A and B are shown apart, each in its own frame.
Chain A
Amino acid sequence: MDFTTQDLKTLFSALASRMATERDALCALDGVIGDADHGIAMEQGTKAAAEAAQATDGTLQDIFNAAAKGFLNAVGASSGPLYATAFLRAGKAAGARLSMGRDELRAVIVAMRDGIVQRGKAEPGQKTMLDAWGPAADAAAAGESADAIMAAAKTGAEATRDMVAGLGRAARLGDRSLGHPDPGAVSAAMLVEEICKAMKGTA
């Protein structure tokens, strides 16, 4: 069963509803090492992305591009450009097609990671969303199962507890960021989970 443009719109709605559910938990997490607004930014961004996706007729790439623009202009901050670039790269990977194989969502995850690296210039271990996207993309590139990709993202996000922030606003906390997971990595693992559910066709 292929992954169609309708499935992609459904996926963006799933991302938005997941972020709406997790909003307060993400804010609380961010309150410890940041501005306490990460949940709000992710909720606003994914909501705008989902609305833009729903309103777009066209190819998988068209929908990704519209979602990128929607996310970006709703949020700004740091997560705006990072996820907008991720979605643009994902669109390129999905291509100007009306459908693709569900297994090709692995290439989408890899492309999203590449976009985040390109825009944010983060390196692994700096306590950022890349610490969840990186392991997920590595697992995806290795052709691992949806469950394994999901687990890699989650483990990666958990591992940020033991990292000292090296980039972004929390970097200015120095050692004080130690012991707390990075909210950006935690939300990233949730997004990966939703994509992986779509990969399995259970979303």
Chain B
Amino acid sequence: MRFDSFGNSGRNDGSHTRRFLRLERAAFNVRANKPREEIQMSLTQKLINDGGAVVDEMLAGIAAAHPDHACLLENAPRALVAKNGPRKGKVALIVGGGSGHEPTFLGYVGKGLADACAVGNVFASPPPQPVVDAAIAVNGDAGVLFLYGNYAGDVMNFDMAAELLEMEGIAARTVLTTDDIASAPRDQREKRRGVAGNVFIFKAAGAAADLMMPIDEVERIARHANDRTYTIGVALSSCSLPQTRRPNFDLPAGEMEIGMGIHGEPGIRRGPLRSANEVADEIMDAILAEMDAPAGARVAVLVNSLGSTPLMELYILNKRVAERLAEAGLTVHKTLVGPYCTSLEMAGASITVMHLDDELQRLIDHPCDCVMFRQG
């Protein structure tokens, strides 16, 4: 079967068709229509062995690097389980989602944070089985909480996992993260995506569980943390899937897209690349307006690389973020700068602000010792 790229007909009347094709290529980067040589030439360079094996080979590498922190389940090799965190009487916190966002989700498995994590193929939800196996492995008979970003595929698979666990006599609860304020209007918060703010939200819920709080409390805190966490990203270039090694979306040279999601979902505004200060200002304007925190309030900040943007640029962004927060009369209690939630090799960054209160501050400060994240 052959698919042409035209919307409506096989009508081929010269100039109109050519113009349409040009426009369409500009909008979508229609790779399927490129001649074969061009496809070969535009393959992105990756240090991989086999595009279909990237997830399993990465997991084997993680298991080899961090044997003191976590291990893969023998029968569910896409479930990573913490060595020291899970214990009797503690709420089991399970996170997960597609691969390609490392250190999200695998890196946050460990004492004080997630008890286990299930990952799927690149940018695709895990099936229910590794989620079920992970939950059974770390169940401490105090309840199981699934905490993950709000994406259709993840919701379906984790919901099916919860149904399967129910048959095993384990009741799992679910909290979805929705911190990406660019992904839907304020009055549709439940439709928003979960992005880098996961780090703070997972941290708060993981600390609550580590402090042996009951399941009702851990769930309440996860929701509370999500309600007070705000993220916007900016993309400067596309990422490419290991299976295809072709750009996942088309972002012309010299352009940026504010609000783009961590799988390349369209953002709020595309335009010429601006300075770090201008980008930080645009993002902080939106975050501060929605957060609406009174002067004197405390915040935690995450300036995150989407993959290939270096620390230098993140710190330049953070300089402006800190200035804007000070101008707003807010106190920065904690700042994280680095690659915490990536999108393969995408260039760009995201800024997350969590509006703290005494409870969240204590939980954010709580020690943790994870595969790729350690604190105090």
What is the interface of chain A, defined by CB distance below 8 A to chain B?
Answer: 22, 25, 27-29, 31-33, 35-37, 40-41, 72-78, 80-82, 84-85, 119-120, 161-162, 167-169, 172-174, 176, 178-181
Chain A residues whose CB sits within 8 angstroms of the CB of B121 once the complex forms:
37, 76-77
A72 in contact with B31 (CB, 8 Å): no
Please give the distance in Å from A1's CB to the nearest CB on chain B: 30
Chain A residues whose CB sits within 8 angstroms of the CB of B7 once the complex forms:
161-162, 178-180
A28 in contact with B126 (CB, 8 Å): no
Please give the distance in Å from A179's CB to the nearest CB on chain B: 3
Cβ 8 A contact of A76, one of B24, B27, B124, B261: B124
Asked if B361 CB lies within 8 Å of chain A CBs, one says no
A45 to B159, CA, bound (A): 19
A32 in contact with B5 (CB, 8 Å): yes
B28 in contact with A161 (CB, 8 Å): no
B157 in contact with A81 (CB, 8 Å): yes
Main secondary structure of the interface of A (DSSP, over half): helix
Cβ 8 A contact of B123, one of A32, A35, A82: A35
A107 to B126, CA, bound (A): 30
Q: Would you give the 0/1 interface string for B52-63, flagging 1 where the beta carbon is closer than 8 Å to chain A?
A: 000000000000
Asked if B175 CB lies within 8 Å of chain A CBs, one says no
Closest 6 CB pairs of A and B: A179-B7, A28-B32, A172-B265, A81-B156, A76-B127, A77-B124
B78 and chain A: residue at smallest CB distance:
A76
Please give the distance in Å from A194's CB to the nearest CB on chain B: 14
Chain A residues whose CB sits within 8 angstroms of the CB of B223 once the complex forms:
none
B131 and chain A: residue at smallest CB distance:
A76
Q: Provided the pairs A73-B127, A75-B127 are in contact, do residues A172 and B183 lie with their beta carbons within 8 angstroms? A: yes
A29 to B28, CA, bound (A): 11
Chain B residues whose CB sits within 8 angstroms of the CB of A85 once the complex forms:
160
A76 to B157, CA, bound (A): 7
Chain A residues whose CB sits within 8 angstroms of the CB of B129 once the complex forms:
72-73
Q: Provided the pairs A80-B127, A172-B261 are in contact, do residues A22 and B152 lie with their beta carbons within 8 angstroms? A: no
A37 in contact with B127 (CB, 8 Å): no
A32 to B183, CA, bound (A): 21
Q: Provided the pairs A25-B1, A32-B30, A176-B28 are in contact, do residues A119 and B127 lie with their beta carbons within 8 angstroms? A: no
Q: Provided the pairs A36-B246, A180-B7 are in contact, do residues A169 and B1 lie with their beta carbons within 8 angstroms? A: no
Chain B residues whose CB sits within 8 angstroms of the CB of A168 once the complex forms:
152
A32 to B153, CA, bound (A): 19
B260 and chain A: residue at smallest CB distance:
A172
Chain A residues whose CB sits within 8 angstroms of the CB of B261 once the complex forms:
172
Chain B residues whose CB sits within 8 angstroms of the CB of A181 once the complex forms:
3
User: How many A-B contacts at CB < 8 Å in the complex?
Assistant: 113
Please give the distance in Å from B20's CB to the nearest CB on chain A: 9
Asked if B142 CB lies within 8 Å of chain A CBs, one says no
Please give the distance in Å from B157's CB to the nearest CB on chain A: 6
A167 to B229, CA, bound (A): 24
Chain A residues whose CB sits within 8 angstroms of the CB of B32 once the complex forms:
28-29, 31-32
Q: Provided the pairs A36-B244, A37-B241 are in contact, do residues A120 and B183 lie with their beta carbons within 8 angstroms? A: no
Q: Provided the pairs A172-B266, A179-B7, A180-B7 are in contact, do residues A36 and B126 lie with their beta carbons within 8 angstroms? A: no
A78 in contact with B241 (CB, 8 Å): no
B3 in contact with A28 (CB, 8 Å): yes
B241 in contact with A76 (CB, 8 Å): no
Contact residues on B (Cβ < 8 Å of other chain), bracket: 35 or more
A76 in contact with B152 (CB, 8 Å): no
A35 in contact with B5 (CB, 8 Å): no
Asked if B15 CB lies within 8 Å of chain A CBs, one says no
Chain A residues whose CB sits within 8 angstroms of the CB of B159 once the complex forms:
81
A35 in contact with B263 (CB, 8 Å): yes
B241 in contact with A176 (CB, 8 Å): no
B243 in contact with A37 (CB, 8 Å): yes
A36 and chain B: residue at smallest CB distance:
B244
Q: Provided the pairs A36-B246, A40-B243, A76-B121 are in contact, do residues A176 and B128 lie with their beta carbons within 8 angstroms? A: no
A27 to B261, CA, bound (A): 21
Chain A residues whose CB sits within 8 angstroms of the CB of B339 once the complex forms:
none
Please give the distance in Å from B168's CB to the nearest CB on chain A: 16
- 15 extra A-B contacts, CB within 8 A, seeds A81-B128, A119-B160: A35-B248, A36-B243, A76-B121, A76-B124, A76-B127, A77-B120, A77-B157, A80-B156, A119-B156, A169-B153, A172-B183, A172-B265, A172-B266, A173-B266, A179-B8
Q: Which chain B residues in 22-50 approach chain A with CB under 8 Å?
A: 24, 27-28, 30-32
B127 in contact with A174 (CB, 8 Å): no
A169 to B32, CA, bound (A): 19
B152 in contact with A161 (CB, 8 Å): no
Chain A residues whose CB sits within 8 angstroms of the CB of B6 once the complex forms:
179
A169 in contact with B241 (CB, 8 Å): no
B124 in contact with A72 (CB, 8 Å): no
Candidate in A28, A72, A75, A81 with the most chain B CB atoms within 10 angstroms: A81
A85 to B263, CA, bound (A): 26
Chain A residues whose CB sits within 8 angstroms of the CB of B31 once the complex forms:
28, 31, 36
Cβ 8 A contact of B8, one of A29, A41, A161, A167: A161
Asked if B19 CB lies within 8 Å of chain A CBs, one says no
Please give the distance in Å from A137's CB to the nearest CB on chain B: 20
Asked if B2 CB lies within 8 Å of chain A CBs, one says yes
B125 in contact with A77 (CB, 8 Å): yes
Q: Provided the pairs A31-B31, A35-B248, A72-B128 are in contact, do residues A174 and B266 lie with their beta carbons within 8 angstroms? A: yes
